[in-house]
Structure 1
């Protein structure tokens, strides 16, 4: 229920912040309003939140810097950026930081509520299939699914996010075969929106970097269809 969900709102415009907070509270959410990223980090370390609404342009600490710092201690907390800027570079940077959505001002409160509910629905963990293997071998690397760990031959591990884990597990389940984009979006992002599709592309790029030193494995794009994990025997 909404009453158990707390939204951390980072908005330096006090009047706009008041309006957003009031509307969300009228719809059953608890809201903590901070005027910049530094205040937001302090608030999160004191008390958790269910979702962050983050203005990009703020004094002291902007929204992008806030999310970079946030991801050092919390990789899963959903983030929606709020901004008056509609630059492509800003959207790409938001995706790289793992944002779940990006809303350009001005926006209606109805749209904001719909976006919040959609992100919260997508971020709710779904039950893993019963037949999901405990681990996969990817060349000399080992992917421990339940622990969200990608281990190199030396045993040094990379901790994966929830989306990285879900995406890699789908590719590993069908090695050397195409996994449809629509299937990945439905299973991991629970959305087929343009923003979700761009987000998926960013996460594929991240996985490619993790596998870069593994000569027997690579992720390739099959134009118009999806992605394929190529693994040499």
Structure 2
């Protein structure tokens, strides 16, 4: 069996067959993963909306809401967590339907446990690589603004020098690494604040407002820092 000690992550396991669920949960936890259990489609969707996961393992035949529908709704919400479907349906048309609705991988039952663990590891590693779009150096300049990440300092367009908090620096770096792309609120809270269960907070909004005060010539008509209603935030250059 694969040793994932250095690659552990959080997994949402959505499977209504209790014996199989418990067996999978036990084996995943033995490999170092943190596992959250869900036994029906609606509960799975609620969990995904409230927590960050590195991977979702999804059965198709579920009470309340089937796994394909859950996967489709997750993608509509712009949540890009990888989804590995487990299903007794092995027809090519079923696999194609699952992948078209947003699944990243499809494994038919019965399956080999070691193969499952390998696919889990590969999907989590791939997801983590995709989260960092662009590696940026210690210094970054946009417009007439200049940031020193390691020193947690910035010089603004009007030559004002400011000290940045650690969280401000981390959020700036995350947004700039993903420039011109929307970064979801969930991803920001996980990466910058380390929240696993997200509180109701305007924390990120307040940070974005501060960035506009620092770096925008007209904070009411921002050029760089944008809020995308209901989705997340974007740095545009």
Q: 1:127 to 1:71 in 2, by over 3 A?
A: closer
Cα deviation digits, residues 32-82 of structure 1 (max 9, x gap)? 111111111112222211100000111111000101111122331100000
TM-superposed deviation, 1:115: 0.4
Question: Tell me, what secondary structure is at the counterpart of 2:76?
Answer: coil
- 1:75-154 alignment, distance < 5 Å: 75-123=79-127, 124-125=129-130, 127-128=133-134, 146-148=179-181
Instruction: Say how many residue pairs are matched.
Output: 136
TM-superposed deviation, 1:129: 8.4
- 1:173-212 alignment, distance < 5 Å: none
Structure 2 Cα separation of the partners of residues 129 and 52 of structure 1: 27
Structure 2 Cα separation of the partners of residues 15 and 77 of structure 1: 26
Structure 2 Cα separation of the partners of residues 146 and 47 of structure 1: 24
- The answer as to 2:32 corresponding to 1:24 is no
**Corresponding residue of 1:47:** 51
**Corresponding residue of 1:227:** none
> Which residue among 37, 41, 44 is the counterpart of 2:41?
37
TM-superposed deviation, 1:29: 0.2
Q: 1:88 to 1:30 in 2, by over 3 A?
A: same
Question: 120-129 or 74-83: which moved more?
Answer: 120-129
Structure 2 Cα separation of the partners of residues 34 and 127 of structure 1: 31
Structure 1 Cα separation of the partners of residues 63 and 133 of structure 2: 41
Contact 2:83–2:104 (Cα < 8 Å) also in 1: yes
**Corresponding residue of 2:197:** none
> Which residue among 46, 55, 71 is the counterpart of 2:75?
71
Structure 2 Cα separation of the partners of residues 28 and 57 of structure 1: 27
Cα deviation digits, residues 164-201 of structure 1 (max 9, x gap)? xxxxxxxxxxxxxxxxxxxxxxxxxxxxxxxxxxxxxx
Contact 2:72–2:102 (Cα < 8 Å) also in 1: no
Contact 2:7–2:125 (Cα < 8 Å) also in 1: no
Structure 1 gaps of 5+ residues are 131-144, 150-233
Structure 2 Cα separation of the partners of residues 75 and 45 of structure 1: 8
TM-superposed deviation, 1:127: 4.7
Cα deviation digits, residues 83-118 of structure 1 (max 9, x gap)? 011111111111212211100011121111100111
Question: 81-90 or 120-129: which moved more?
Answer: 120-129
The higher radius of gyration belongs to: 2
